[in-house]
Every structure is written in structure tokens, then in C-alpha cells.
Amino acid sequence: MAVAPSGSRVRIVARTHSGEVTHEGILLAPASPGHVTIKLTNGYNVSYPDDSVSSCEILSEAGSESEQSYFTPEQDSSLPEVWILHTGGTIASKVDYVTGAVAARFEPEELLDAVPELASHARIRTRKLGNMWSDDIRTQHWNLMMEAAADAFDAGAAGVVITHGTDTMHFSAAAASYAWAGAGGRPPGKIVFTGSQRSSDRGSTDGTENLLAAVHWAARGPEPSGEEGDTSVIIMHAGSDDGMCVVLPGCSVRKFHSSRRDTFAAINRNPIATIRVERGGACEITLSDSYSESYNTVRTISKLPIKFSPDIRILQLLAGSHMFADQIELATNGGYDAILLHGSGLGHLPIEDPNGDAPENTELLEAMRSYCAGGGIAVMVTQCIHGPVHMDVYSKGRDQQALGIIGNHACCSPDSALIKLHYLLSVAREKELTGPQIRDCVGDGWASDLCGENPASIPN
């Protein structure tokens, strides 16, 4: 029933079991063949079979996006300056009325147009770094974000907000933490990552409150210490309901749910703060007791972030019944710089054959022995997510240490560990270290707490 092109505003009358209903909205590509689908003004979609739609009136033809104009609220010169660095993701997405899909194609200026309350928190500047789904972000994009942040701080910004897709936001936030504070310094201002689990065209979007809270923290939050996981932070919804956002340490975060608005949680650390977002856009920060008691700024300010080497290759392997020796051999033959092992429990690999019926385990042991003896770097994290690696408890763990596997007693979360390993290898490459020097660089760094990722004690 193609009575108008997708993107047109229409009014339909449809027959249902409860009688006729009337809806107005934007005509989308049909959700399935033989249906009419429209987007309602509340952001939700409705679909009806063609044969149940008795009429479809065209209210206006589909418009051209190039004809849109954006409202830019007046900026208060007395407020702190905050840069919004746009990388893409759901927070900056809208529906494509031709296909019905959600497309990452909001321009940064549209954020101000959509959320004019931002202007009451800070003087907003925007820079578009790309329109990428976060799954496509790689090392060079971390460097791009940090270069843009450095430009913002040089221009006098109090903080930066990086709008980012949520799927890999925690990796980029960890990269920012190590880049600015891994060498013992701290950034010149606040670095905030935020995003949205629900696209901005939906009635249930969480992007508006997340963005307001993020800009408020970037403008008025405490100066980062570089030691308490606050070098960069992630700010998203604290729960399923509106009104409260949580500030999480960027170097110790995990995405736990594919669709919930409170998708992120701190790993082996407490949240840094909460931010209440009132109707009308007012925000109030409450620091957590653990953070406010230990907060300090004794570190010197880093002038520039350390760059990640884009050509470093890390092989990640998951310990279990499908781990084999040839996977270890791939690290050498494939030119990988290191292996990150996601061990079971306290950090274990399947390397023993007590029943004599699992020769794969013995082969894996010998492959790991050969790899480490040849100078290969293998670092252990735990699949358990929370808790430390502890390879002293069982004999298997002690055997793994004897092989040369690094990581005992570390509390770094599995996702942050990948970025920390990449950071340490980048440092080694920048210093032109070779052979055992690289291993010492990684080993010493792994035993250290560079930016709050490896706390001496973890919350219960």
C-alpha cells in the first residue's frame, strides 16, 4: 500500500479487534511485507497489515534534510567552556525515514538544537571527529579523540564530552585514562564519555539526561586526580528510570547489558559520583564517600597524552575446552606482540592431563612454555570480571608463573586490561625497548596502579 514516499507525514485509519483507530506520524519503510508502518510523535512505531488500513491521508510530503535549520541558544560568557567531541553512536542517531533504520548521522550542532538546556551549564563548542558505530573504532581513533581533547584544553576548555557508541565506549574511556595518566600525570581538565542506549528519535531515549549530566560534570565536576579512576569517566543512567546518572571510573568499567539504560558498571572499584538531573535540566553532583575521602590532585598536569601505537597486535584467548596449542603458535607465526589470556577462576589454563586422556592439555602446556621461553609476552586476566588474578593458590597457577605468564595479583578488569597491555607495549615501542626490556616494561607496569585500574583493595 505505497500511497506516499517514506518520510511523508500521514494520517491512517486502521481496523482492529477493538474497532477503528486513527494515527498520525511519519511513514516508514514497512516493518514487514504487506504492512504499513508509521512513527508516532511519541517516538514509537506502529504497523498494520495493508488490508486493515481503510484510509491513508498525506498531510505533508517527505522533506529534504538539507533544508533543516538548527536553533543555537545564546551562550553565557561567564560559564566554563566545554567541548563536545562527536564520534557517533546512538546518542547522535536518528531514524532514516527511507529505510526505517536508525542511522548515525546527527551533526554535532543538532545536539544543541535538541537539548538547548546545555547552554545553561557551559559554553558549548563542538567538533565532529566522525560518525562511527563504536564497533568500528580502533587505535587510531583513540589517538584522534585524545588529540582533540588536547586541543580543547589548550583553548581553555574546562572539560570535554566525547559522545560515543556504548558497545565499545569503555575501551575508549580506558584508552583516555592510560594516555593521560599512565605515566604518572593527570589531564588538564575533565574527560567524559557518554552515549545512549535508546536512539534520540525514540520516546524512551536516555541520551538527553546523559548528555546534560556529562556536560555538567565536564563544567563543574572536581578536577581529576589521575589516581582514583577519574582521569576519564563514563556517565550514563544509574538505573532504568530517569532522573539519576552515575559517574563511573573510565579505567574500570564493563558493559553488562545489551539494551538496558543502566548498561555500565564499575569493576573492582566503586562509582565516583551520582548526578541528579531535574526537570528543566538542572543537575546536582553527589560524590561517593570512597572518592571524596581519597580525592587529591598531587600529580602534575600532563601537557600531551601518550599515543597508542596503531600497529600493535594483541591476541586474546579464552581459556576452556576449546583452547589448543596451535592458537598459541599463531601468536608467533601471525606477528602478534602479546597474548592476553582470559583464564578461568583465579586465572587458570587447561594445561594438565591427570587422567591421561586429554593430550591437548599437555600440548598447550608445551606451546605456552615454548612461547614464553622465546620471549613471548603472555598476560593473565580472569574471566570472572570481578576479583583479582591469584596464581599462588593452586599448583597450576604457580606452574603458570614458572612458565613466565604475567599478571599475578592484578585487579585490572578484563576489558581495561586489553587497553593497558596495548598502552605498555606502546610505551616500550616509543622507548625503543627490545627483547627482555619489553617484558620488564610490561611486567613492571602490570604490577603498578597507573591510573586507578589496579587498586590495592577492592570493594566487597
The residue from 87, 163, 166, 208 that is catalytic is 166
- Rounded to a whole number of angstroms, the distance between the first and last alpha carbons of the chain is 59
Beta strand 35-40 pairing with 19-28: antiparallel
The residue from 39, 87, 94, 167 that is catalytic is 167
The residue from 87, 90, 163, 263 that is catalytic is 90
Decide: 236 and 195 in contact? Cβ < 8 Å. yes
39 catalytic? Reply is no
Helices 325-333 and 359-373 pack at an angle, to 10 degrees, of 20
194 catalytic? Reply is no
90 catalytic? Reply is yes
Choose among 140, 178, 137: nearest CA to 311: 140
Query: How would you list the strands of the sheet with 81-86, edge to edge?
Result: 123-128, 81-86, 159-163, 190-194, 233-237, 244-249, 273-277, 283-287
The residue from 39, 94, 255, 396 that is catalytic is 255
CA distances from 454 to 182, 251, 302, 331 (A): 12, 9, 21, 26
167 catalytic? Reply is yes
Query: How far is it, in rounded angstroms, from Cα 59 to Cα 81?
Result: 43
Which residues are catalytically annotated?
A: 90, 166-167, 255
